[in-house]
Structure 1
Amino acid sequence: MPRDDSHLPKALQGLRVPMVASPLFIISVPELVIAQCKAGIVGSFPALNAREGEGEHPLLDTWLTQIKEELDRHNQANPDTPAAPYAVNQIVHRSNGRLDRDLEICVKHEVPIWITSLGARVEVNEAAHSCGGIVLHDIINNRFAKKAIEKGADGLVAVAAGAGGHAGEQSPFALIREIREWFEGPLLLSGAIATGESLLAARAMGADLGYTGTPFIATDEANAQQEYKQMIVDSGAEDIVYSSLFTGVWGNYLRGSVEAAGMDPDNLPQADSSSMNFSEGSSKPKAWKTIWGSGQGIGAVKSIGPAGAIVDRMAAEYAAAGKKLAAEFF
């Protein structure tokens, strides 16, 4: 039986598997986004990843042109298996001095899916809606979820315990249930969604789609150091450290990268959220550039390879797990 996703916005319908690739700071570049979309899931990147030199043409404009043209070529050559839409992540924190310019560029390109982080702002949602886009806002608790919808977001990304990078502490079971008590719109779940089985579990508990990031770090198309990719392959959930030190916001990082920086992962000081500053493109100080983010789902990543292979694996696992579970009820 085909998946019924008719209740979702058009941009989220008809995906090969119900999944959005999360925007990875530095790592998500056009090559990765294009590969994800061609494989049948929503690919995404942070607008702040596109950083041009002083006086140069905005790289974000160049990247969006590249992504749109390549996906259009793919769709013309493969009308029966078109690429999924793409998404752009906007950091709406007040310290992001590029935000207004980047919003204009995204409106110009009619970006279909906007993912907003670190603050819900009415004017950002209005900009997205002005060009036919939808807004998915990421949150770590039910209170922030309600604020996001009140300010005009179309859907939510529930960032639960175990998610890579900035992450919440709540169990996905609790977080999804509380949101679903009042919200019927698009709901995505982030937090160790690294296998088809975990994606099916997310659907079963009430999420419409999974939100997957860490497995795509260890891919050919990812803009990550080879050592970073290999550490993802070599590590497991016990190798994840939860800390606020590196950005001022609590997040998950690879223990090995913390140790390589000469620090004790089990005795890290805390940092205040006031230390966040996106004026340089990232809240992370340059001193922490080799502190690598990761989610707890890395145990599922066994090798470095093409991004499409990640989607192939998860699609097969998702179908197999669904059939196995369905056998209990039908």
Structure 2
Amino acid sequence: MSQPVHTRLTKVLGCDYPIIQAGMGGPGRSELCAAVSSAGAFGCIGMVKEKPELIRSEIEAVRGRTDRPFGVNLVPSVTDPVLLEEELEVCFSERVKVIVFFWDVRPDLVARARAAGCKVLYQVGSVADAIAAERAAADAIICQGVEAGGHVRGKVTSMVLLPQVVDAVSVPVVGSGGFGSGASLVAALALGAEGIHCGTVFLATDECYAHDYHKQRVIDAASEDAIYNDVFAIGWPPQSPVRTIENSVTKQYENDLLGHGPDDFPLEVIARDGDDAVYRFSTHSPLRGMSGEMEPLALYAGQVCGQIKQVRPAGDVVRDMVNDARHALARLRSLE
């Protein structure tokens, strides 16, 4: 493994490389998280709206695989308040070191997490929310551009938003959206960020909990196939945009991709995740072990999908990104 690459972010997180694996909801489970952290980056388990028993078992599973630091990703604004309390209690009782929050900025939750001994990273999509997160005492800001996959808070590109957020706050800023290579890490650092936050590139890994169908669609997709829409609406507040790979659902709504909410669609069961029903137009993505129709589900991916050509071990992804970053820096030095 290459020598560590230290920034203020790595000091906050305790990892060797300024690369964060996005929680990604269902696909980001313990196996992927542990593999990323073991390779020197920072893994996360995506526990959005998950039962406390699963969160506890996933935390234990990560710790059974690695002694490296990791985080838990939660989305408070889309989680039932009672369930959110249960999620937080598990994280606090298990002494999770880092919590990554997303969507609306909740200063009260930042204060509670920090009081429980957690570092807090807040993922935002605007300068205003970045400032709000810093005022709430977040330890670092994840700045998401509109090219990102999954649920998208940003409305402008990372190249435009990132330097503005860097100028607006004093805590470490992490670039998210369009980052999935060593060269993009160097680009983010050049824009003032102190690391990158990657989902799509880690979705196409052996350890990811995504269904093989989803992984193959990521590999086959061009960047233009990653569609910005909100037709996958059941399970989130109205008009919550996502970026997904084109499928029969986005084609059906190709002239009406935005402006939808969960009540606009029928509850039509098309798949099952164990005993749980999975609906057409829901925010569920295909997961390992799901049965039923995979093609109409939300195939989350960012525009960086056009760079991904194969499914690989997550550790190889981390190592290649670090080595590529060093090569990119060497190329830049040769221009001096």
Q: What TM-score does the superposition give when structure 2 sets the normalisation length?
A: 0.82
Structure 1 position 238 matched with structure 2 position 224: yes
Distance in structure 2 (CA, Å) of the matches to 1:214 and 1:144? 24
Match of 2:254 in 1: 265
Task: Indicate which of 317, 322, 330 corresponds to 1:323.
Answer: 330
Deviation at 1:233, TM superposition (A): 0.5
Task: Indicate which of 52, 57, 76 corresponds to 1:62.
Answer: 57
Deviation at 1:171, TM superposition (A): 2.2
Distance in structure 2 (CA, Å) of the matches to 1:163 and 1:238? 13
Task: Indicate which of 144, 147, 168 corresponds to 1:162.
Answer: 147
Match of 1:29 in 2: 29
- Describe the shift of the 1:12–1:257 C-alpha distance in structure 2 as closer, same or farther (beyond 3 A): farther
Match of 2:242 in 1: 251
- Identical positions, percent: 25
Distance in structure 2 (CA, Å) of the matches to 1:309 and 1:153? 31
Secondary structure in structure 2 of the residue aligned to 1:45? strand
Q: How does 1:276-315 map to 2 (within 5 A)?
A: 286-288=279-281, 289=284, 290-315=297-322
Aligned length: 301
Secondary structure in structure 2 of the residue aligned to 1:241? strand
Q: What TM-score does the superposition give when structure 1 sets the normalisation length?
A: 0.84
Secondary structure in structure 1 of the residue aligned to 2:170? coil
Could you tell me whether the CA contact under 8 Å between 2:127 and 2:168 is conserved in 1? no
Paired residue type of 1:184: S
Structure 1 position 219 matched with structure 2 position 226: no
Could you tell me whether the CA contact under 8 Å between 1:241 and 1:265 is conserved in 2? no
Paired residue type of 1:70: R
- Describe the shift of the 1:9–1:107 C-alpha distance in structure 2 as closer, same or farther (beyond 3 A): farther
- Describe the shift of the 1:319–1:242 C-alpha distance in structure 2 as closer, same or farther (beyond 3 A): same
Paired residue type of 1:216: F
Could you tell me whether the CA contact under 8 Å between 2:6 and 2:18 is conserved in 1? no
Match of 2:274 in 1: none
Q: How does 1:170-185 map to 2 (within 5 A)?
A: 170-185=156-171
How large is the Cα RMSD of the aligned pairs? 2.4
Structure 1 position 87 matched with structure 2 position 76: no
Match of 1:278 in 2: none
Match of 2:290 in 1: none
- Describe the shift of the 1:94–1:51 C-alpha distance in structure 2 as closer, same or farther (beyond 3 A): closer
Could you tell me whether the CA contact under 8 Å between 1:140 and 1:169 is conserved in 2? yes
Could you tell me whether the CA contact under 8 Å between 1:86 and 1:113 is conserved in 2? yes
Secondary structure in structure 2 of the residue aligned to 1:317? helix
Could you tell me whether the CA contact under 8 Å between 1:107 and 1:130 is conserved in 2? no
